Amino acid sequence: MSNKFMKRNEHFFQKKMSLPKQIVVALILGIIVGFFFDQIGIPEFTTNYLKPFGTIFINLLKFIVVPVVLLSMIEGILSMGDMKKVGSIGWKTVAFFLCTTAIACVIGLVMGNIFNGAGLFPMLELAEGATWTGTTSSNFMDTLVGMFPSNMWDAFTKANMLQVIVIALFLGGSMLAAGEKSQLCRDFVSSAYSVIEKLMGFIISLAPIGVFTMMAWVVATQGAEILGSLFLVLLCAYIAYAIHAVLVYSVAAHTFAKVSPLKFFKGAFSAMIFAFTSTSSAATLPVSKDCARELGAEDEVAAFVLPLGATINMDGTAIYQCVATIFLASCCGMTLTLGQMITVVVTATLASIGTAGVSGAGMIMLAMVLQAMGIPVDMIMIIYGVDRLFDMGRTCLNVTGDISATLCVSSWQRKLASKK
């Protein structure tokens, strides 16, 4: 009797639902529950009793981000064995990201102009007395200077991801240069990263709870009416997201890594869903790494490319900035010239590189683009209320691009190794 009971339990746990399926179920349940509380007129219930659990989950993700980026990048650099390999992977990764971001800007501008030209963008006005109180981005040179930390611990406490990446590059490169004398530091990094990986596994296992509570809160508090006058703007952005994901990311993965589009999206699905609900590229890193590994990416490449991509690969943000700029210009009665659109491409590309991989950061960078176009920054208030809906799609696209880049760079590195 006891043996039969044990076998039945063992069979049950073997057939336990996988994490990606749990996340999808949690997403659907969250939408249903949120819609229910919205319909019965007590959306504050989700704010008071469900959202706090989602906030706890997001806090845990933020807590793990800095050590994951720092240790995974150092571990990735050390695993390469020499600085030439680091440089080889680095320039290929940055080139991939810059090219795809520029393409993303063009797609965003084309879609925005199509919708605007067809008169589909509604003419909205700022609510009386509304002002934009967010801080705006500095220029490119300030961003460049800001990449290099004057205080390592300050970079960690403020979660300045560009600075954390620079610190990881310096420390990892120095350990390689020091050779055998750095063995103690290498062992420490390896041991610490093993611990962090276990902690990541625990936090990620809580993802369904976080997804359910946050989705229920979003749907209940924002409601169906949120898609009213701004539905077409959201539709424009999401069509651009989809076009970029299919025509750029899946085609790149198929061309360079020989991964079919169907296999690519199936393999990246759990990371895409996680990014869609968490709205944080950096927080999705552990899931992205698992997806990239299952699709055939090299671990050492993934350890380097994914954290870097979570910081500088912001194609979804670039598309959002272009669509939002055209929409807000329309609201002001402005029509952008070809020269201004080229300026948008350049500015949005640079702004997206400086966008932190955390929820809502794209809104701050949009202010930089609007200033370059002479559009009042206060106009951001028009779309501020639905920014999270934009953020979900753009973060999902960003993470998809990180995985595509990892596969492509892995394939390029294998070909380079086979020629030696």
Q: Which sequence spans correspond to the domains of the chain?
A: 17-419
Which of 159-173, 228-242, 262-276, 308-322 is most confident? Answer: 262-276
**pLDDT for residue 130 is more than 50:** no
Provide the mean pLDDT of the chain: 79
Coarse DSSP helix, strand, coil percentages of the chain, rounded to the nearest 5 percent: 80, 0, 20
Mean pLDDT over 228-248 rounds to 87
Least-confidence region, from 108-117, 163-172, 248-257, 371-380: 371-380
- The predicted-structure confidence for 154-194, as pLDDT tens digits, reads as follows 988 887 766 887 898 899 889 988 888 999 999 999 899 88
**Percent over 70 (pLDDT), the chain:** 76
Least-confidence region, from 244-248, 253-257, 273-277, 389-393: 389-393
Q: For residue 319, give the nearest of 353, 296, 345, 298 by alpha carbon.
A: 345
**pLDDT for residue 344 is more than 80:** no
Rounded Cα distance between 24 and 208, Å, is 8
Q: Counting every residue, how long is the chain?
A: 420
pLDDT interval class at 122 (50, 70, 90): low
Helix (H) or strand (E) holding 367: helix 361-373
Angle between helices 285-294 and 51-80 (to 10 degrees): 50
Residue type for position 129: G
Q: CB–CB of 76/388 below 8 Å?
A: no
In CATH, the number for domain 17-419 is 1.10.3860.10
Rounded Cα distance between 268 and 240, Å, is 19
pLDDT interval class at 324 (50, 70, 90): confident
For the entire predicted model, the pTM comes to 0.67
Q: CB–CB of 206/57 below 8 Å?
A: yes
Rounded Cα distance between 188 and 192, Å, is 6
